[in-house]
Chain A
Amino acid sequence: MNETSVLWEETIHGGATWSHVLKRGTALRITDLQGGANVGAVFYNFECPSERYNMPDTLKAQHIARLTKEFVLYSDMGRILCSIIEDTVGWHDPIGGTSSAKLVDAKYGPSRYQEHRNDYHKNGHDAFLIELGKWGLGPRDLVANVNFFSRVDVALDGGMGFAQGNSKAGDHLELRAEMNVLAILNTCQHPLDPHPRYEPKPVLVSIRRVTAPGPDDPCRISRQENGRGFTLTERYFV
């Protein structure tokens, strides 16, 4: 199948949840509209969701503690859920995790729907669970997440620090689905973001059809491990 222009696109408000089954052969572009966005994400094999994004396998197969172009997201079954085929940011955080109601209350103060309507304070943990619940999944399916557009540095002594200003308005990345992948996203602020106010940022998501990764695909040849990862993923569809 040939590449297409954008099939559809929509804006995800700040602090909102979103999910979609990304079909193999399509790509999801996420654009930071205002700068300083954070997109928490977890990914599942739609046909068998006990196969899911695995942070350690992704990190150790590629010897990385950051995500960018030419890296891929591994499931716990040795297969590639998504490849990062485009990225203008250079560093996305795979280790910082997500916020909780307790953390958001402590940081920004309590805020309920009753008083604040749709501006009430959302948190990443609840956002993931709500969106997982829509697909019949729950707390046992929630695993370590990715934070697109955010960066957490690790010092030599292991200390973790949030890098401010990592993503600018217009920055984007594109994820090519290598399987039929249930993507669960939310736009809650990063749990380590020192910004004193509750101001989650919106992003634009757009989907297009893309050509299958060929023998010289940059993600496939970036490391020998990824070559084997693509082989195992392609075998799944035999």
Chain B
Amino acid sequence: MSGINLVESKLDPTKAIYSQVIPAGEPWIHALKKGQHFRIVDLHGNQAVDTLFYNAHDYSDRYSAQDTIRQQSNIYLTTGTQLISTNGTVLLTIVADTCGRHDTLGGACATESNMVRYAVEKRHMHACRNSFLKAVMEWDHGMTKRDITSNINFFMNVPVTPEGKLTFEDGISDPGKYVEMRAEADVLVLISNCPQLNNPCNAYNPTPVQVLIWEGAGK
């Protein structure tokens, strides 16, 4: 897995069974059936989409960043990446990606981590983990903060150097770029469309993204 491998999808957006625009700063939670295709479109470019996945039949079996990167021996997610759960279930496979690289080490912003990273006075600023918490409590299936774990940041560029440094770089995404996954199991998707204003993950201007779903086999 070297270099950037861009793969387009053949699926027609007009045939999607579901389409929704998620404004910046909003959460979105939705169940996917095995076989369905799920696309996230970076409508305006350089927008981090913080995403968690759960086995729809057992929420304690959830996306695992460490298992996912170790399985493919690479820290970046792109076409061909299997998204692995804590119990080793393949939840989804990335089948198309016109951005080329997505992060899963940087995690989600939080009011508390913003206080550490930027200033104690930043506590009031909106953050992804507030959105995650609101969404799981409204989902009302017994999910709580315990279910908020290390997520994927679609469209975000967080390189690691050979010296063991972690850096936040300007995004490599542009308006209209997308990532598409096939659900390999029934899964629950939880998104926070990131409101972070303190670093370049959203180009200092958080913008809407679009989610689309197609029936199995791209019908």
Contacts and interface: CB of A to CB of B under 8 A. Distances in A.
A131 to B, nearest CB: 16
Contacts of A144: 64-66, 149-150
Interface string A125-169: 100000000000011111111000000011111111100000000
Contacts of A57: 107, 110, 113, 116
Contact of A191 (B70, B119, B150): B70
A76 B60 contact: no
B66 A96 contact: yes
Q: Tell me the dominant secondary structure on chain B's binding face.
A: loop
Given A140-B146, A228-B120, A154 B75 contact: yes
Contacts, number: 140
Given A60-B117, A156-B162, A232 B112 contact: yes
A157 B3 contact: yes
A230 B67 CA distance: 31
Interface string B1-18: 111000000000000000
Interface string B84-105: 0011100000000000010001
Contacts of A26: none
Interface string A39-64: 00000000000100011110111011
Interface of B: 1-3, 59-61, 64-67, 69-70, 73-76, 86-88, 101, 105-108, 110, 112-113, 115-117, 119-120, 129, 144-150, 158, 160-162, 164-168
27 contacts: A56-B108, A57-B110, A59-B105, A60-B117, A60-B158, A63-B166, A64-B166, A65-B160, A65-B164, A76-B129, A76-B148, A77-B112, A95-B69, A95-B75, A95-B105, A97-B66, A100-B88, A125-B86, A140-B59, A140-B146, A143-B149, A154-B162, A157-B2, A159-B73, A160-B70, A228-B119, A228-B120
